Amino acid sequence: MKVNGVDYRTIWMEQTSVFMIEQNLLPFQFKIFEATDYRQSCMAIKTMIVRGAGAIGAAAGFAMAQAFLQAEKEEAPDFLLRAKTEIEATRPTARNLFYAVERVFAAGQISAENAVAEAQWIANKDADDSQAIGDFGMQLIANNARILTHCNAGWLAFVDYGTALSPIYKAHQAGKSIFVWADETRPRSQGARLTAWELLNENIPHKIVPDNAGAYLMQKGLVDIIITGADRIAANGDAANKIGTLEKAIVAKHYGIPFYIAAPCSTFDLNCKNGGDIIIEERDQAEVLFQTGPDAEGGLRTIRVANPESEALNPAFDVTPANLISGIITEKGIIKANVDAIRNFISPDS
């Protein structure tokens, strides 16, 4: 995608360094972060310099490749196993992270160069898959459609194009008149800060709405379709996504509004029987209690926006049951969210 007329991927690797857009600074500042070793890449994943299922997967794959490059100078025989464990511990919910680490670790048994090549392949496939998801998903979007999305599953969440936003981009490029409701998505406000920034860059009409305005919009007949991403999809079709997604799916079911998940096959976890087996990450309560924005001098300032003596609970994801999902948009086509469809469609090594 383009920023100020220049094409960028969300994340890429050159030599031994991994470069990524510093998402914590957006939309107020656009900067590139350089991770020179796998531990810095781990830090970037943990602190959400890079975030979103596909981008996390690419970052984890590159981090594993960096570890193989570093291992050539390390004497400890268990260095790579420690690195693998550290990378996998950065974010527990996103399936793409484990998918990438497993593939790069296996490839690295041949050579460090092979590990790097596998990581690059994963990143390239993520970008290609996202475009394919857009091609299939745009067929669901009618002219003059009003689309609601939650969190950010766009270009910034993947290597390019994204998942939930990819059908929107493709529909817009095809000349369809569309409008997007972008949930603000507290506590980190990815919808208000990232999705809105992406849509503005692509000149797509949109408005930011409070997370709890979704039911109102649907009740008023102002939403035609909902498309969100997913961080892990169980074998039965239950899908984990940013906290608040479940509420949208429940209300959509009540009002008869199609609710779709957009995700590549690498997001499916066939070893996870249902949503109850998905580990839900709980993040620091500071994300709920504080907000960051620009100050008068153009820098960024963090302030507390909650009662000073109160604590907060901050689950990062919830799980939407398969029976609330109209379909799952993948790079291979649109499938039903049920065991039989997934078993017939998704191979174990997809």
Are the C-beta atoms of residues 336 and 236 closer than 8 Å to each other?
no
pTM of the model: 0.93
Rounded-to-integer distance, Cα 232 and Cα 94, Å: 6
Angle between helices 53-71 and 95-107 (to 10 degrees): 30
Across the chain, mean pLDDT equals: 95
Residues 16-57: tens digit of each pLDDT: 999 999 999 999 999 999 999 999 999 999 999 999 989 999
> Dihedral through CA 96, CA 48, CA 276, CA 247, nearest 10?
-110
Looking from the CA of 348 toward its CB, the CA atoms found within 13 Å total 2
Q: At the topology level of CATH, where does 132-345 sit?
A: Rossmann fold (3.40.50)
* Among 210, 81, 229, 220, residue whose Cα is nearest residue 156: 229
Q: Per the residue annotation, which of 126, 129, 231, 318 is the catalytic one?
A: 231
* Residue 350 pLDDT grade (very low, low, confident, very high; cuts 50, 70, 90): low
Our answer to whether residue 7 is catalytic in this structure is no
Task: Give the Å distances, CA to CA, from 162 to 126, 155, 199.
Answer: 9, 4, 12
Are the C-beta atoms of residues 1 and 155 closer than 8 Å to each other?
yes
Are the C-beta atoms of residues 93 and 240 closer than 8 Å to each other?
yes
Rounded-to-integer distance, Cα 140 and Cα 160, Å: 21
Q: In this structure, what token pair is assigned to residue 88?
A: 């996998």
Tell me how far apart the 2 most distant CA atoms of the chain are, in Å. 65
Residue ranges of domains in the chain: 2-131, 132-345
Residues 6+ apart with CB under 8 A from 163: 53, 54, 130, 133, 153, 154, 157, 229, 230, 262, 263, 264, 329
Rounded-to-integer distance, Cα 336 and Cα 327, Å: 5
For residue 296, what pLDDT is reported? Answer: 85
Are the C-beta atoms of residues 260 and 325 closer than 8 Å to each other?
yes
Average of per-residue pLDDT across 184-213: 96
Q: What is the Cα 5 distance to its own chain's centre?
A: 24
Average of per-residue pLDDT across 291-298: 88
Residues 151-165: tens digit of each pLDDT: 999 999 999 999 999
Average of per-residue pLDDT across 217-228: 98
Q: In this structure, what token pair is assigned to residue 32?
A: 């590139």
Q: Do domains 2-131 and 132-345 have the same CATH topology?
A: no
Are the C-beta atoms of residues 339 and 321 closer than 8 Å to each other?
no
Asked whether the predicted pLDDT for residue 117 surpasses 90, the reply is yes
H/E segment holding residue 146: strand 145-149
Rounded-to-integer distance, Cα 194 and Cα 27, Å: 7
- Classify domain 2-131 by CATH number: 1.20.120.420
* Residue 132 pLDDT grade (very low, low, confident, very high; cuts 50, 70, 90): very high
